[in-house]
Structure 1
Amino acid sequence: MKKCIFCGKTETDFDKNNIFTEEHIIPQSLGNETLKLFNVCKRCNSGLGTYVDNYFVNNMFVKMIRQNLGLKGQSGVIPNAFTEGKNKDGHRIRVDENFHPTLVPHIEQSGNTIKINAPSKKTAKKMIQKKFSRLNIPEK
């Protein structure tokens, strides 16, 4: 009789929705297709994926290695370790798949002065309309 190596429950302890599943000893997103266990229940396997594997494989340093080796994640996409960061002024920067950085649009408010950093006038107008709406300030 199978027994979950984490919670210790056996096949008779589970309903048909919580069955034994395939557990990759080394996460699949790190290239593992062969090192697997089959005596882990669905609940424990899900918890490991959420609370252990996810944090590990999405760590910036691990992402850099995965990106360099071309190891795709569950979504089938090679991760970009440098997708988001901050510049010297503390503003968020996003980097696309070709490593081109762009400043994330933002609004700075100091007293009655509002400064908008946006890629276009159209985007800036939408941002200021939203800001004024939140502050209950008429658009005019």
Structure 2
Amino acid sequence: MRCVICDLEKDGSKEHIIPEAMGNSKLITYKVCEECNNKLGSKVDKYLTDYIITKIIRKNLGFLGKDEKKIKIFPSILPDDKGEEYLFREDIPKKKALVEICNGVLHIEAESLEEGLEIAHKRLKRIGKSEEEICEILSTYRIGEKKNSQPTFTIPADIDMSRYLLAGIKIAYEYTCELFGDIYSEDKVAKIFRNQLYKASIADKKDNECIDYEIIKQYAALPINATLELKNKIKPILDSLQPKARHVIILHDSADHKMICEVFLCFIDFMSFTICVSEDATQYLGNNKVKICVVLENDQLIEV
């Protein structure tokens, strides 16, 4: 097997054309070697799946993260807009306990009396107090209440559009390779995609120059008006399916006979892509002007 990413003869591995993190387990290819497979996940797919807006959508749709764990939007510790640190458990903020010793008095700010007493117990034990002494000290505690304000958190949502579009290119490229095999691997556009994907897979994650955005934007874009019109036409039909459609990939001939791959992820415009996968559709589609693959909500496939 010749890997469609590194172009070397290697054993194939199970590669998810649409990332598994997007709720896909059946639309796969074995035309990618294991080494490239692993690198694509961390250096290409993640710019789609781990982008903050995508993560919020994934969580809202009930998708799971790696090892089927619940998706976490927030980091474990995050300061609010006032600089006060909060702990996040299951994406629920909890104010970090404040512990101070002033004039021999232990002062604790915690979310509950129980938490405050637990922290005090640990602190006293740490400085060598016996259980009897700890119980005596804790029996003298005083409670005060502090009005809590509603915290506001800010998470950066900067996006590297070249890498984001490359994640869409990866889906379209692998799907087209799976459909047409070796004949497509020699296509001019296929070679460009392979080169960009390979460069991204071997580059350092912080290397923002490894991908040529001027090349990427010639072939890939977020949905254009014609694409959105197509989506709106087919969505009522797909919504009538039981189970409903989750993702759709459409290969079609354009007016100027280019082969276009429309990738609709969850039918959300921001997570959908219009990719020109070849400048000559007649080589591949012939009289069949359209090829469609539908990933259903139960993860089964419909291919036409």
What letter matches 2:23 in structure 1? G
Higher normalized helix content (fraction of residues): 2
Task: Answer with 1 or 2: which has the greater Rg.
Answer: 2
Q: Say if 2:4 is the partner of 1:26.
A: no
Residue in 2 aligned with 1:67?
Answer: 59
Distance 1:87 1:57, change over 3 A: same
Q: Deviations over 1:23-44 (max 9, x none)?
A: 1111101101222111101111
1:78 is the counterpart of 2:77 = no
> Within the alignment, does 1:94 sit opposite 2:87 as a pair?
yes
Q: Structure 1: give runs of 5+ residues left out of the alignment.
A: 12-18, 108-114, 128-140
1:25 maps to amino acid = I
Amino acid at match of 1:10: E
Are the structure 2 counterparts of residues 73 and 8 from structure 1 closer, same or farther at C-alpha, using a change threshold of 3 Å? same
1:56 pairs, out of 48, 54, 70, with 48
CA contact (8 A) 1:117 1:124 kept: no
* Structure 1 CA distance for aligned equivalents of residues 125 and 51 of structure 2: 34
Check 1:55–1:123 CA distance in 2 against 1; reply closer, same or farther (3 A cut): farther
Over 3 Å counting, the alpha-carbon distance change for 1:9 and 1:88 in structure 2 is same
The residue type equivalent to 1:45 in the other structure is N
Distance apart, 1:64 and its partner CA:
0.6
Normalization by structure 1: what TM-score?
Answer: 0.63
Distance 2:3 2:125 in 1: 54
- Name the residue aligned to 2:33: 41
Identity percentage of aligned residues: 30
Give how far 1:126 is off.
9.3
TM-score, normalised by the number of residues in structure 2: 0.32
- Give deviations 1:29-77, integer Å, cap 9, x for gaps: 1101222111101111111112122343222211111110000122112
**Unaligned 5+ runs, structure 2:** 100-106, 127-304
Cα distance in 1, alignment partners of residues 97 and 49 from structure 2 = 29
Secondary structure of 1:53's counterpart equals helix
The residue type paired with residue 2 of structure 2 is: K
Following the alignment from structure 2 to structure 1, what is the Cα–Cα distance between the partners of residues 43 and 98? 32
Provide closer, same or farther for how the CA distance between residues 3 and 103 of structure 1 changes in structure 2, counting only shifts above 3 A.
same
SS in 2 for 1:75: helix
